[in-house]
Amino acid sequence: MGRPGYTKFRTLPVRDTFSAYLETEGQAAVLAVPDYASAMDALATKGPFDLVLLDFEMPGMNGLAGLSAAIEAYPAQPFAILSGTAPNRMAQEAVEAGAIGYIPKTLGAKSLVNAVRFMIAGETFVPASILAESSDTPETEFSKALSVREREVLRGLCRGQSNKEIARDLGLQDVTIKLHVRNLCRKLDARNRTHAAMIAKEAGFE
């Protein structure tokens, strides 16, 4: 049996509308599920897929934490994010976190099919209009030196959280957070996690 062309995991009614169009116009085999837990179950039992499209607002997704957890569990599986409410800067953050693309729900039907084909071919897709708006968001030199994940971990350090607490919030393993903390200390020339948090606060990091 051949595997489906790709799968997309979103909530009703957008899920059914996009599924129908991608099946008829995109000639794609589509597997749709209602929530994040079902998406993970489908990956475990029916994956891998050519593309997994995760809705940023789907039940159980928890935003980028859900994306990161999915990528960590299935590192060879291409994932993309679909959203209608997330700020445009989230597109860049999703790509930096490992997504192969970002599709706004306002994207036209034909453009949707083209974007999916583009990502299945292994190319990263983010609408040019989103990239332009995202680039207008001011970013400090301090933040530019850090990856999206390192910023998330650093925010946890600034809140005084333990590795275990940060791992729980981000949906990662303790050992992964430990590695990020080590990298942060190296990048910030910090003696330890407390010193890293102090340096971040002095730099106005939020």
From 134, 162, 189, the end of a domain falls on 134
Number of domains in the chain: 2
116 shares a domain with 35: yes
Q: Which is higher by pLDDT, 112 or 3?
A: 112
Q: For residue range 40-80, what is the model confidence (pLDDT) as tens digits?
A: 999 999 989 999 999 988 899 988 889 999 999 999 999 99
29 shares a domain with 130: yes
68 shares a domain with 165: no
CATH of the domain at 172: 1.10.10.10
Mean pLDDT value across residues 175-198: 90
What is the CA angle 168-172-175, rounded to 5? 105
Structural contact between residues 36 and 54, judged by C-beta atoms closer than 8 angstroms? yes
Q: Which is higher by pLDDT, 17 or 115?
A: 115
Containing domain of residue 38, as a range?
6-134
Reported confidence tier of residue 192, pLDDT bands at 50, 70, 90: very high
* Longest distance between any two alpha carbons in the chain, whole Å: 58
End-to-end Cα separation, the chain, in angstroms: 50
Order of all β-strands in the sheet with 6-9: 30-33, 6-9, 52-55, 79-83, 101-104
- Residue 32 placed within a domain: yes
For residue 54, give the DSSP letter. E
Question: Is pLDDT of 168 > 80?
Answer: yes
108 shares a domain with 174: no
Reported confidence tier of residue 2, pLDDT bands at 50, 70, 90: very low
Measured distance CA(58)–CA(54) in Å, rounded: 8
From 134, 152, 168, the end of a domain falls on 134
- Residue 1 placed within a domain: no
From 108, 134, 160, the end of a domain falls on 134
Q: What is the predicted pLDDT for the residue at 83?
A: 86
Q: What is the predicted pLDDT for the residue at 15?
A: 72
pTM here is: 0.59
- Residue 184 placed within a domain: yes
149 shares a domain with 118: no
Question: Is pLDDT of 190 > 80?
Answer: yes
CATH of the domain at 54: 3.40.50.2300
